[in-house]
A and B are shown apart, each in its own frame.
Chain A
Amino acid sequence: MKAVIFISSIVALLTLTQVSAAPAAEVVSGFQCVGINIEGLHLSQDDLRTGAGFPSILDAPREGAKIVSGVSTIIYIAWPPVVENGFLKAMAYGGKIGWLDKNSVRPLRRADGTTGGCTLTRRSNGRIMFDLDPGVGVNQ
């Protein structure tokens, strides 16, 4: 039930997310941005800097699976969200697909409490970059 509410809140509040891309970039669809769950993971300011306590994207939706990649403060998850065994389907910055504990992320929010996401684009050099919706962040 908790997972359903969590996913529902992300889905409902990101519906209004506008898709806009720079002319030279290709929009990457099927994924959205969420933030690392600072409060839930009890991350300190020093942890945010060093990356200590950050979760990893795994190659299977289960504890102990092989690590695909670490994450940063902004995390890409499959959109609409896909949840298996308490893990969200996610994409590493490098483009690899894996699974991330659903409790390690939370929606990006604005100061007024509304949520939003981002537009993911692939630049001409192959890099995937994100453009956050105005006002959203990981620490609201």
Chain B
Amino acid sequence: MSTRLRNRLGLQNGSPPGGRRWLWLVVGASGVLAARAANADPQVILPNGLPVQVKPTYSEPGLPAFSFPTSGGTLLGGSSADTGNGGGSGSTNASSGGGSVTGSGDAYNMMMAQSWGSAAANAAGAMGVSATALAATCAMESNCQNVGASGGGSASGAFQMINSTYTADINGAVAYDPTLAGNIVSGLAGQMDPTTEAYAASYELRSDALLLQSKNIADPTVLDVRAVYQFGSGAGPAVAEADDSANIGQLTGLSAASLAANGLTTSSTVGQWRATVTAKLGSATAGQSVLAQ
């Protein structure tokens, strides 16, 4: 009998002062323990640590969107490598990286209400951008609906990426995190898989934010990066740097048709565009950092 068990049973070395009553207690306890030892393994086995946190892939009809906490808890032992992904589309199951997958605001709630929302949030985390920023993108582009191309353009999916941008970004995402390669929908079909497109869109947001960082915007916000996402890496930085009074058409050189495709006219100003984006997203989301902190 170990010293630890002895102490738990209240035993002491030498003769107990309680006399015979103590002796009978010791004998009885020893008998019980001996019987248990014969039938059970005294070791508590935790196979590879505690069970991972369960995250429902599909939300239950009628229930509001719920943001699963990803911090504050502690895994005791085992590996946390597979705890990050909520799945979503049924076709992707890539693990998340080190970025935060939590967010806030109406846009975030809108994305998380989709069956693929949790997986998209993980995609943002894997690419090092905030889930709120990714959610803002789908909210602006499609109200987070997985819609096909229309109007003769190739922009499609929840993040409305055109073919060329999507192809470049999904390749960039795989290069950034090679583990994605076998876990995403390949080819342009990935545009219509929201989780796969979320990786491409997240990579685009990351690239846009880094581009702005190289231009003296130390901590690009959702609104800053939105300028690059919407107007491209050519004209976008100028929109991000412009005063509210600047005319977007005059600033970007885009034609009336190109502006119309973005819901703008030749008289639209940067201030009006900013106000529209902020009204849609809310000022807290519009002002949030894109790169995960």
Instruction: Show the binding face of A for B, using Cβ within 8 Å.
Output: 22, 35-36, 38, 43, 45, 47-52, 54, 69-70, 72-74, 92-95, 125-132, 134-140
**B217 proximity list for chain A (CB < 8 A):** 93, 127
Cα A132 to Cα B241 with chains together (Å):
11
Interface size of B as a range: 20 to 34
Q: Are A48 and B242 in contact (CB under 8 A)?
A: no
A-B contact pairs, 17 of them (CB 8 A): A35-B253, A51-B232, A54-B234, A69-B214, A72-B237, A73-B235, A73-B253, A93-B215, A93-B216, A93-B237, A93-B241, A129-B243, A131-B246, A132-B250, A137-B247, A137-B250, A137-B253
Residue pairs across A and B with CB atoms within 8 Å: the count is 104
Given A127-B217, A139-B249, A48:B241 Cβ within 8 A: no
> Which of A127, A131, A132, A139 is in CB contact (< 8 Å) with B253?
A139
| Contact pattern, B 251-275, Cβ under 8 Å of A = 1, otherwise 0 | 1111100100000000000000000
* A-contact 0/1 string along B177-199, CB 8 Å cutoff: 00000000000000000000000
User: Do the beta carbons of B237 and A48 come within 8 Å of each other?
Assistant: no
- Bound-state CA distance A135–B269 (Å) is 11
Contact B214 A128 (CB under 8 A): no
B216 A36 Cβ-Cβ under 8 A: no
Other-chain contact of A129, B234, B241, B247 (Cβ < 8 Å)? B241
- B233 near A69 with CB under 8 A, answer no
B binding-site residues for A, Cβ under 8 Å: 214-218, 231-238, 241-243, 245-247, 249-255, 258
Q: Which residues of A contact B254 (CB under 8 A)?
A: 45, 48-49
A54-B234, A72-B235, A74-B242 known; A48 vs B253 contact (CB < 8 Å): yes
Question: Chain B residue with minimal CB distance to A21?
Answer: B243
Inter-subunit contact A72/B234 (CB<8 Å): yes
Q: Which residues of A contact B235 (CB under 8 A)?
A: 48-49, 51, 72-73
- Which residues of chain A are within 8 angstroms of B253 by Cβ–Cβ distance? 35-36, 38, 43, 48, 73, 137-139
Residues of B near A22 (CB, < 8 A) are 243
Q: Are A138 and B251 in contact (CB-based, < 8 A)?
A: yes
**A132 to B246, Cβ gap below 8 A?**
yes
Q: Do the beta carbons of A131 and B245 come within 8 Å of each other?
A: yes
Q: Is the Cβ of B252 less than 8 Å from the Cβ of A95?
A: no
Across the A-B interface, the 6 shortest Cβ-Cβ residue pairs: A137-B250, A49-B232, A51-B234, A93-B215, A131-B243, A94-B216
A69 with B246: CB separation less than 8 A: no
List the A residue with the shortest CB-CB distance to B237. Answer: A72
Q: Is the CB of A49 within 8 A of B218?
A: no
